[in-house]
Amino acid sequence: MILEDHELERLLAGDKAAWDRFVARAAPVIFGAVRRRLEPAGRLGDAEDVAQDVFIKLCKTDYRVLRSYDPARARFSTWLTVIASSTAIDHLRRLKKPADSLDVVPEAELSVEAKEPAWLKIPPGLLSPRQALVLELLYQKDLTPAEAGEVLGVDPQTVRSMHHKALTRLRSHFSEEAGG
């Protein structure tokens, strides 16, 4: 199968008639390549779906894959066969991946070692008592700004503001301490 430059231009421009002619001419090449990959795996029944996936791959994202064809590197039929074969191989790989639910995966594989955080030693006087309390409520007590606002009797936005100011002071202090 040969694809002339003017045909490629019409395809890339979205010409429906050109696309219909292209599909009619390319389908046997694509279907043959897909069948050659799927038959040994016993998945010949998937050939039509995979061939459809090839056409989708060629035209999605503004014909990105189709635009990658370079006539200086290969004949169009060779290039199309490579695209179709790789799509079929990808299809077979997806089938091999286990789709186990979390219920059948052993708990030991999912577990993570629990570690207690090493709390940062904040120099006395660096933060106001209220800023220190906001950090404690947000990080040690794991409260949301709204919940911390209820505890302090202030608006959640005030909690966010105090949090931001406390973090700014901490960043400044520790970057100076680190020499930065």
Per-residue pLDDT tens for 89-138?
A: 999 998 876 655 556 656 666 666 655 555 567 788 889 989 989 988 98
The span from the CA of 55 to the CA of 30, in Å, is: 9
Report all structural domains of the chain as residue ranges with CATH numbers, in order of start.
Answer: 5-96 (1.10.1740.10), 129-177 (1.10.10)
On whether the pTM is more than 0.85, the answer is no
The span from the CA of 156 to the CA of 147, in Å, is: 8
For the record, the structure tokens of 36 come out as: 């050659």
Q: What is the pLDDT of residue 29?
A: 94
